[in-house]
Amino acid sequence: MRPEDLEDQLLLAHAGRAGDLQVLGDLGEMLNAHLLQFGDVEAGTLAFLDGMFRRFGGDIRLGRWLVAATAAVRTMTLVTGHAGYSKIRLARVVRFWKSSGNETAAKPEETASSIPEVHRITLPLLVLAAVTFFAGLGRGAITDSDEAFYADSAREMVVSGDWVTPYYNYEPRFQKPVLYYWLTAAASLVLGDSEMAARLWAAMAGLGLVLVTAAAGRRWYDESTGLLAGAIVATNFGYFSIGRMALPDLPLAFCITLAIWAALVATLEQERSPRKFVVLAALALGLGFLTKGPVGLIIPVIVIVPVLMIERRSIALTPSDLLLGFVVMIAVAVPWYVVMWFRHGNEYLQGFFIGDNFDRFATDRFNDPRPWWFYFPIVAGGLLPWTPLALVWMGPLTQWVRRRRDLSTIDLRLLLWAALPLAFYSLSVGKQPRYILPVLPPLALLLASSIVERTQEWRGFDGARSRPRRATGIVVGSLLSGAFFVALGGLLYRVQPLLINVAPIFTQVAAGIIAASGLLIGLFAISSHWRTAPVVIALAAAVSLPALQYGGWSSGGDDTIRQMARLVQQQRTAHEAVGTYQVFVRNLVFYAHTRTTDIITDEQAAQFLAQAGRALMVAPADVVDRLERERGLTLVRIAELPYFNEAGVRVRTLLWPDAARDLTRVVLVANR
């Protein structure tokens, strides 16, 4: 049967005319075959509609598709006698049509009525992201980790007035490009030299990721999927934790995500003005290259090229569009590198592109070597509290393995988007947990699509109170998510003795809020309102994440590092040298505003303290005791402060906290 004949028969059926009885009989046999194969009414009918769509060759418009699909359902009700066909919700048919990758072929004219639809997604997500990314952002000191590099480099950029070469600890820092330094320095001009300014653009990138993911979900699936995908991005622990650190990794993830999405829209969808998406993708590529170098180009390329090859669609771009995109990308990405080359010569180019990029990927020079599977648990942990809901994938995955289900175009596109960067990073020798951040948006979209499908597809059959077998993934996943919140609240309560900079009442209230949120999720999961459990998870995370921030690792007051920095400033009456040994190695320079010497070994410590002039050193008390005992040094102990290093937390620390073991006594000493 020719596609046009099939369409004609369906249109006749929709108009109330019988059409060719032989054709209708053929349709009935096709539908019954799908029904027997899939074992339930809806799955079989949707598979039939998918097959019918494929016979049209992908050229049918949405309006005619809806007419044809509606006619097919009505006709099959008459032919087969299955009344269940009439209960299939038209919204599910629309979702299935859009998931076939043809949403743009029938995109209706944008009207003023579409603006409120956008706001229905955007406004709730803005509120949600404001809570999870910005509430208490300035609380807690800059940690003794990589974020100190960026916070202090931005501070020194403002102080020195040199906005070309980044400096850290008053020495040139060639390890990373300049964009995050620029953004942070600009923020500090407005907000002052503060933790808030240092972390602002990481949080802004988190907000941007929420909106881009929601836009992709709305465009490729539907409004509900876009809203839920944005909520998953706003409330997962991976983005929450990195979005509250002065690091360029989340801005890089934003640039990569925006570049991939805009490039796919520009090349694969029938946009009336694809040029704006070309420019957007090029801008994102350039900014990504200016944020962390070649990886900002590599990840989008290894996603976009395979997707284009697999989908094999005609690319509706002119050479002038591509040329414009190339010019925009070069104009954004290249000038600063050229200036650095003129200023520092080949030393910079070789040190950055070879040393900081190739060596970081192919050697253990910067990061310890880790197994190939290292990122799999990292991704699972980063998606919490949503990870357990991945159980909704079990049914479709089983059907796919048994060849009873084909991946839709959009699902395959997102799967490649997540899998290819994951494979790329897994091949690297030196691995860092935060490198994998760009894979979370496509996973959020896939998860949101599956959740929305499961919560909506059965509503027309058994009523709002039903909980069919295919909803088990949502129910069990929600129960596990709730259990995670309860366990997290319990662990937070247990570590109270270690949180020396947080008032106990804050920790107790936060632990109670988090645990209560988990119980609430569980109650909804086992009730007749199980479909709303994902919404409750998002709201629970929106409450629990700030509670963790305020009651856990941030005091908003006098952290140990701030106290130690003030002591160092008070003691430096004659520009004494300052050394750090095993503690405050990276962040003391940010707070003390003075050059520090990073001491690695006991021998270096002894040499540093043996200098002719007065010298100050910050070190753990047990290290000072060892130096005095084994090196015969006589040191003046100026101050001793308790310190809890969150970066050193292990599972044992959470399960069996011991202040005597887990708290460090930090000492400021002088050699005379």
Domains in the chain, CATH or no CATH each: 3-88 (no CATH), 114-457 (no CATH), 462-553 (no CATH), 560-670 (3.40.190)
CA 233 to chain CA centroid, Å, is 6
Q: Do the bridges between strand 664-670 and strand 615-620 make them parallel or antiparallel, or are there none, so unpaired?
A: antiparallel
The residue among 187, 230, 188 whose CA lies nearest residue 211 is 230
Rounded to whole angstroms, the Cα distance separating 69 from 86 reads 11
Q: Helix, strand or coil for residue 612?
A: coil
For residues 217 and 238, the answer to whether their CB atoms sit within 8 Å is no
Alpha-carbon separation of residue 597 from 139, 211, 308, 561, 577 (angstroms): 27, 43, 51, 16, 8
Longest dimension (CA), the chain: 105
Residue 627's pLDDT is 93
Residue 115's pLDDT is 46
Q: What is the pTM of this model?
A: 0.81
Phi-psi region of 293 (alpha: psi -120 to 50; beta: other; left: phi over 0): left
Residue 45's pLDDT is 57
Give the DSSP H or E segment for 508.
helix 504-526
At a CB cut-off of 8 Å and minimum separation 6, what does 334 contact?
A: none
Dihedral in degrees, nearest 10, Cα atoms 132, 135, 141, 146: 30
Residue 298's pLDDT is 94
Give the DSSP H or E segment for 641.
strand 636-643
Low-confidence ranges of the chain (pLDDT < 70): 1-119, 270-272, 313-314, 359, 362, 364, 366, 395, 398-406, 457-470, 554-557, 647
For residues 300 and 258, the answer to whether their CB atoms sit within 8 Å is no
Give the DSSP H or E segment for 405.
none
Phi-psi region of 16 (alpha: psi -120 to 50; beta: other; left: phi over 0): left
The residue among 655, 575, 579 whose CA lies nearest residue 617 is 579
Alpha-carbon separation of residue 61 from 69, 98, 103, 270, 621 (angstroms): 12, 11, 9, 12, 74
What letter does residue 340 receive in the DSSP assignment?
H
At a CB cut-off of 8 Å and minimum separation 6, what does 324 contact?
A: 275, 278, 279, 282
Give the DSSP H or E segment for 352.
none
For residues 243 and 130, the answer to whether their CB atoms sit within 8 Å is no
Q: Helix, strand or coil for residue 614?
A: coil
* DSSP-assigned letters across all residues of 47-89: HHHHHHHHHTTT---HHHHHHHHHHHHHHHHHHH--GGGGGS-
Q: Is the dihedral angle over the CA atoms 297, 299, 305, 308 positive or is it negative?
A: negative
Strand partners, 171: 168
Rounded to whole angstroms, the Cα distance separating 511 from 303 reads 41
Rounded to whole angstroms, the Cα distance separating 90 from 329 reads 43
Q: Which amino acid is at 281?
A: A
Q: Do the bridges between strand 167-168 and strand 577-581 make them parallel or antiparallel, or are there none, so unpaired?
A: unpaired
For residues 606 and 634, the answer to whether their CB atoms sit within 8 Å is no
Q: Cβ atoms within 10 A of the Cβ of 37, count? A: 12
The residue among 328, 244, 237, 347 whose CA lies nearest residue 289 is 328
Rounded to whole angstroms, the Cα distance separating 370 from 360 reads 13
